[in-house]
Structure 1
Amino acid sequence: MDFAALRPYAAHVLSDAAIPELPNPYHGKVRDNYDLPDGRRIIIASDRISAFDRILAAIPFKGQVLTQTARFWFERTADICPNHVLEYPDPSVVVARRLDILPVEIVVRGYLAGTTGTSILTLYKRGEREMYGHRLPDGMADNEKLPAPIITPTSKAFDGGHDEPLTPDQILSQGLLTAQQWETLSRYALALFTRGQAMAAERGLILADTKYEFGTDAEGRIVLADEIHTPDSSRYWFAESYPERFAAGQRPESFDKDFVRAWVAERCDPYCDPIPEIPAEMILQTAAVYIQASETITGEQFELPASGEPPLERIRRNLARFF
């Protein structure tokens, strides 16, 4: 979508979803959550964009794009494993089962890629070949396809700490998961990734890696939570240009959503300095990329709202029965 088409919606943002009538609020970096007494959780995806451990801006339609992209995938993977979804009362809202989130974060990787300290490419470039309980072959190039997808689990830092790489043996010896939980979680994650890669290929995309979050419900079942195969939780590349760019040693072509992050990082120390005012055109350009990503991933057209009703008013109206 051309970002010029989004200019009338520059103020159409959900920067905050505080709803006093809803009980037990928890406000995260980008989601506002409310726990109902009957074990359900209302999860509202705001349009906030987070980086450098702070909120940078609000991007029109970002929360709706991520909610609806995740919905697309939840509905098409429900035969693989149970998920937390109960209903979607609003385009930016999911009502879900409240889960006890497991203390292990799961990333499935199909390619030697990544930039963070826990990514396999970073570790590989340090000379490591044994990682996450796997051994990678020598002589691999940046962004090369792995012999087979692998699970790279990390500890889940709940209180601002740093995620640390784990092996299956460490997961079991530290009591983070039982052997049965790890077997089930691993089976689910690899099956979800296989489905995701196959469907992405039909859309001209490569699903290079993705993050999954699992929890347990009241009966102890392992349930998929959070989001699945969205532009924020997954690394997608364009399949058509991948071979040529890989052969040339170039980074694969992808959805570039990091305009705002890069712009801020070039102008200040984003961890310490005040954030400068971000140009409106850049915010709209980022919104356009999110919408393009969703349309490409799902094959479904994103419909801009016909009315000028502010997002929070719409959400309040659609959630009134929960007050």
Structure 2
Amino acid sequence: MNTITATNFNFPGQKNVYKGKVREVYNINDQELVMIATDRLSAFDVVMPKGIPYKGQILNQIATKMMAATEDLVPNWLTATPDPNVAVGHLCEPFKVEMVIRGYMSGHAAREYKAGKRMLCGVAMPEGMKENDAFPEPIITPATKAEMGDHDEDISREDILKRGIVSEADYLVLEDYTRKLFQRGTEIAASRGLILVDTKYEFGKTKDGKIVLIDEIHTPDSSRYFYAEGYQERQDKGEAQKQLSKEFVRQWLIANNFQGLEGQVVPEMTDDYITSVSERYIELYENITGEKFIKADVSNIQQRIEANVLEYLK
């Protein structure tokens, strides 16, 4: 299976490379960034040993489409997409927080709630909720950005300001942008018969001090979606929701005794399992965008990406 799990390019004007869990970011002349979405799969902040075919292309194309669909509300870093796996944009200084926003009590929030907690990142969660119920209104539960391999940590707005991670003036902008993006994302999802359950946004500052949206937006890696049809019926019956997100990978790992904890071993990912994950990602793409997924030529992904980026940089 042809996948791209690591890159080692040397582009003209290249200053340095940052390798995240899934993306590799090349700094060109301290002016722009070339961001390559690999096929790496990360869960519980651990990168899985094998890549997932077309995953990088899917994430990159959803993110770039969603940036185009929200740029009237919130400025973003993106300037070009020279290859299915590549986004190019302005060099930014990232804020060291992820703005997580939750419309429903699912995933991490539900796990914390089950453990008896009623506060998440300094925000109260009402009594009497059950998993996947909607919050009275969306809540913002930020996380501190982790370096490679470390877990992101929940943090309250108060701690962010107290520790000087973000200034109060900037944080008010981040909150405003987060709510606006989530509202637009909710509307886009509803038009596709989906519910945007929760998501995270990352922001940075351009050289001239403008706050912009960076990284990915409304992808299955950064967001959780439910199918709207049958949602209420499933809630009333206490059944699991039918969802479109990376949660199915997390659930498979949990069922195989892996949650990224010390001493735990990643279960074997067979070719059949990898194919099934790839097919799920294609399903996600088509449902989220409402468009048919067109597979890029993967006969030599590295060569294709390098040629397209070099052509763009000319």
User: Normalised by the size of structure 1, how large is the TM-score?
Assistant: 0.87
CA 1:133–1:57 in 2, change beyond 3 Å: closer, same or farther? same
Instruction: Report the equivalent of 1:181.
Output: 170
CA apart distance, 1:71 = 0.9
Instruction: For 1:88, give the aligned amino acid.
Output: T
In structure 1, what is the Cα distance between the partners aligned to 2:163 and 2:92?
A: 21
Instruction: For 2:102, give the aligned amino acid.
Output: R
Contact 1:259 1:282 (C-alpha < 8 Å) held by counterparts: no
CA apart distance, 1:259 = 6.2
The C-alpha deviation readout for 1:71-121, integer Å capped at 9, x for no partner, is 11000000111111010010100112121111221111001111x3xx3x2
1:29 aligns with 2:17: no
Greater alpha carbon shift after TM alignment, 93-102 vs 157-166: 157-166
Greater alpha carbon shift after TM alignment, 236-245 vs 156-165: 156-165
- Provide structure 2 residue ranges, at least 5 long, that are not aligned to the other structure: none
1:297 aligns with 2:288: yes
Greater alpha carbon shift after TM alignment, 269-278 vs 132-141: 269-278
1:83 aligns with 2:76: yes
Equivalent residue runs for 1:19-98 within 5 Å: 19-21=9-11, 23=14, 24-51=16-43, 53-98=46-91
1:222 aligns with 2:211: yes
In structure 2, what is the Cα distance between the partners aligned to 1:308 and 1:39?
A: 30
CA apart distance, 1:262 = 5.6
Once superposed, what is the RMSD of the aligned Cα atoms? Answer: 2.4
Contact 1:18 1:32 (C-alpha < 8 Å) held by counterparts: no
CA 1:238–1:16 in 2, change beyond 3 Å: closer, same or farther? same
CA apart distance, 1:257 = 4.6
1:127 aligns with 2:116: yes
1:279 aligns with 2:279: no
Any idea what SS the aligned residue of 2:229 has?
Answer: coil
In structure 2, what is the Cα distance between the partners aligned to 1:245 and 1:177?
A: 40
In structure 2, what is the Cα distance between the partners aligned to 1:145 and 1:265?
A: 24
1:108 aligns with 2:101: yes
1:151 aligns with 2:140: yes
Contact 1:257 1:286 (C-alpha < 8 Å) held by counterparts: no
CA apart distance, 1:164 = 3.2
Which of the numbers 176, 191, 195 marks the counterpart of 1:206? Answer: 195
Contact 2:203 2:211 (C-alpha < 8 Å) held by counterparts: yes
CA 1:55–1:184 in 2, change beyond 3 Å: closer, same or farther? same
CA 1:171–1:113 in 2, change beyond 3 Å: closer, same or farther? same
In structure 2, what is the Cα distance between the partners aligned to 1:133 and 1:179?
A: 16
Instruction: For 2:97, give the aligned amino acid.
Output: V
Size of the aligned set, in residue pairs, is 308
Greater alpha carbon shift after TM alignment, 126-135 vs 255-264: 255-264
CA apart distance, 1:18 = 1.8
CA 1:262–1:21 in 2, change beyond 3 Å: closer, same or farther? same
Contact 2:103 2:197 (C-alpha < 8 Å) held by counterparts: yes
In structure 1, what is the Cα distance between the partners aligned to 2:145 and 2:128?
A: 31
In structure 2, what is the Cα distance between the partners aligned to 1:268 and 1:130?
A: 27
Identical columns (%) = 40
CA apart distance, 1:39 = 1.5
Contact 1:260 1:283 (C-alpha < 8 Å) held by counterparts: no
The C-alpha deviation readout for 1:177-213, integer Å capped at 9, x for no partner, is 2221111110100000000001101101000100111
User: Normalised by the size of structure 2, how large is the TM-score?
Assistant: 0.89
CA 1:211–1:95 in 2, change beyond 3 Å: closer, same or farther? same
